[in-house]
Structure 1
Amino acid sequence: MTNDKTVAILGAGAWGQALANLAAANGHQVRLWSRWGTLSLEAVLQDADIILSAISMKGVREVVMQVQSFPISPDAIFVTATKGLEPDTTCTPSQIWQTAFPHHPVVVLSGPNLSKEIEMELPAATAVASNIPTAAEAVQLVFSSNRFRVYTNSDPVGVELGGTLKNVIAIAAGVCDGLQLGTNAKAGLVTRGLTEIVRIGTFWGAKPETFYGLSGLGDLLATCNSPLSRNYQVGYQLAAGKTLTEILTHLQGTAEGVNTCRVLIQRARQQNIPVPITEQVYRLLQGEVTPQQALDELMLRDIKPEYH
């Protein structure tokens, strides 16, 4: 008996393409859809066992509505591999998919996965998370290989938020390296950044331990230390004196951290959650402070215990 699945991948950017290659290498039938491709969305979705979305945050809602208008296999599992928050609703991608398809399992795929390295077949690990363990296990089997290790997780909110919130800290890490502040400063920044992520994430219902796993600390380390990370590049180039508009015009792909930061600040201010690093990244992106002023603000905060 063969266990080959039909996998529909929505979004043919670097990340969608990398995931498509992983599933195809495992012998699954993969169909790739993009707005500019030749295959229609209906044809790609037909009888698909797994529908994976790797589109950027701003396109999620629109694509979800399009998918709703086509017949979907009753047993289809939805997988979301998008990192970001919707500006108007502050919803995560999985919340948008789950609301649209309440009777289908939704799995979140997130980890320290720079798509360029996966394309080069370098080893990597990721997490797939769902409230329905069998759905996460099915997705794990489709993408696991000897170069891509997939772990299951039962905290989809935490896995999704880890991958989303770390993008803001990655911008700060880029600034840190761009200003040549050294290893000590960077280690301090990333550690305090993780504290901030845990603080926000647990407030939104995630389990704190999830943020010490692949989709939290793992993704944070990858994104804060790699010039391949678009969010890191934004921070690095801001430190070099470029304007945000200038940087985003020349950036290949989307730096989701820019939008995430705005949404996050909105939520944090409403709920009175202290997020000093995110606050300074926001002010920097708004052009209210220079990279150096943002750093000074963080260093001059009131002294306090490390743990409350």
Structure 2
Amino acid sequence: MKVTLLGAGAWGTAMAVQAARHLHAEDVCLWSRNAEQLQAMAKSGENHLYLPGIPLPKNLLLESDFAAAVKRLGSDDLLVIATPMSGLAQTMALVLQVAQHPLNIIWLCKGLEPATALLPHQVVERENHLHGRGLKHAFGALSGPSFAREVGAGMPCALTVASTSEQLCKSVQAAFHHDNMRVYSSDDLVGVELGGAVKNVLAIAAGIGDGLKLGLNARAAVLTRGLAEMMRLVKAAGGKSETCMGLTGVGDLILTATGDLSRNRRVGLELAAGKSLDQILSSLGHVAEGVLCAAAVGDLAKRLNVDMPITAVMGEVLAAKLTPKEALKKLMGRDPKMEV
């Protein structure tokens, strides 16, 4: 099978490396809109900009022509959208305009569309309605606890692909389930996507707690009560709350809230240190999806009448309506209630 990945950031590059380790010469194609970046990658044999120190397999095809990257795929092949959430709608629209036959399409981004609070698959459905031209593509999301650097280095990792298409799930597993990566399948697209969105917001909260030196007890409370918020939202949105107990929920939450490679955790740490959000984001160099989707998660919770106090105060902190210490005081001042 052939695989094309659209987006040569850290995550897209890492997953291209993972696929190319297993598939044959030029079966895996990595596309970037930045031709200069691709030239530098071809020359150096690594992605210095986003994933330095990880060698690119020699059989990985680098492509700057978008149409060529998409049209090389047949109906049994796999297209992977590896852009941030902010680029999903535009990239999907372009894919649908270029596609000449039905494709297997998955996305790696996590979060909600800020302006609409739509989940990734809802964004894709909207774009397919506008640009799909009647072709019956198969869609899905690939998510789970994964830092790009560790995946690129070939360290053990487990992910979940979610789709209503069993064949799409099998295609994703054929592409990526090998060596040190396991890929499980699920039909709960809502649960998988919402877990990936909410955990980023909770990771900022955990980072703030650690930055304020509130202790390990406080971190455990944030993660546990945050997981309860996630489960309530998933159930209200039509997903399965038990999905939150798997890789894309509690697994990804633990990683993102405690791992030193987590950009969302770093945002929380630096907010606790008194830095402004603008200062933090300008120094990151990468997208922190929790910042972009916190307000949208809050909007969705209000729309579905779901109580999410930790998520709500994180939205206020990120909007500069509360300081981290004021957020803590607000949370700790809530009335007692039953845990379940």
Which of 86, 89, 97 is matched with 2:113 structurally? 86
Structure 2 Cα separation of the partners of residues 73 and 27 of structure 1: 23
Asked if 1:153 corresponds to 2:149, the answer is: no
- Note the alpha carbon deviations across 1:79-116, whole angstroms, 9 max, x for none: 11111111222222222224415611112100001111
Superposition pairs for residues 177-192 of structure 1, below 5 Å? 177-192=210-225
Report deviation, 1:72: 3.5
Report deviation, 1:186: 0.3
Letter aligned with residue 19 of structure 1: M
Structure 2 counterpart of 1:31: 29
Letter aligned with residue 260 of structure 2: P
Report deviation, 1:148: 0.7
Structure 2 counterpart of 1:18: 14
Structure 1 counterpart of 2:195: 162
Asked if 1:61 corresponds to 2:127, the answer is: no
Cα contact 1:111–1:125 (8 A) shared by 2: yes
Structure 2 counterpart of 1:218: 251
Letter aligned with residue 199 of structure 2: K
Letter aligned with residue 93 of structure 1: P
Report deviation, 1:134: 2.0
Report deviation, 1:71: 2.9
Asked if 1:247 corresponds to 2:315, the answer is: no
Cα contact 2:309–2:331 (8 A) shared by 1: yes
Structure 2 Cα separation of the partners of residues 164 and 285 of structure 1: 16
Gap runs ≥5 in structure 2: 36-62
Structure 2 Cα separation of the partners of residues 272 and 152 of structure 1: 30
Indicate the SS of the match to 1:69: helix
Cα contact 2:160–2:248 (8 A) shared by 1: yes
Q: TM-score, normalised by structure 2?
A: 0.86
- Note the alpha carbon deviations across 1:28-50, whole angstroms, 9 max, x for none: 51111122135211010113111
Structure 2 Cα separation of the partners of residues 106 and 21 of structure 1: 22
Runs of 4+ in 1 over 3 A off after TM superposition: none
Report deviation, 1:156: 1.4
Asked if 1:194 corresponds to 2:230, the answer is: no
Report deviation, 1:271: 3.0
- Note the alpha carbon deviations across 1:115-171, whole angstroms, 9 max, x for none: 111122211110011111221122112101131111111211111111111100000
Structure 1 Cα separation of the partners of residues 231 and 205 of structure 2: 17
Structure 1 counterpart of 2:172: 139
Structure 1 Cα separation of the partners of residues 143 and 100 of structure 2: 24
Structure 2 counterpart of 1:42: 67
In angstroms, what is the RMSD of aligned CA positions? 1.3
The aligned length equals 302
Cα contact 1:111–1:218 (8 A) shared by 2: yes
Cα contact 1:47–1:73 (8 A) shared by 2: no
Structure 2 Cα separation of the partners of residues 77 and 255 of structure 1: 27
Asked if 1:228 corresponds to 2:228, the answer is: no
Letter aligned with residue 46 of structure 1: K
Identity across matched positions, percent:
42
Q: Say which is worse superposed, 120-129 or 235-244, in terms of deviation.
A: 120-129
Structure 1 Cα separation of the partners of residues 204 and 115 of structure 2: 22
Structure 2 Cα separation of the partners of residues 22 and 274 of structure 1: 39
Structure 2 counterpart of 1:51: 79
- Note the alpha carbon deviations across 1:241-293, whole angstroms, 9 max, x for none: 10001000111210111121111122222332211001111111111111111
Q: TM-score, normalised by structure 1?
A: 0.95
Cα contact 1:53–1:80 (8 A) shared by 2: yes
Indicate the SS of the match to 1:157: helix
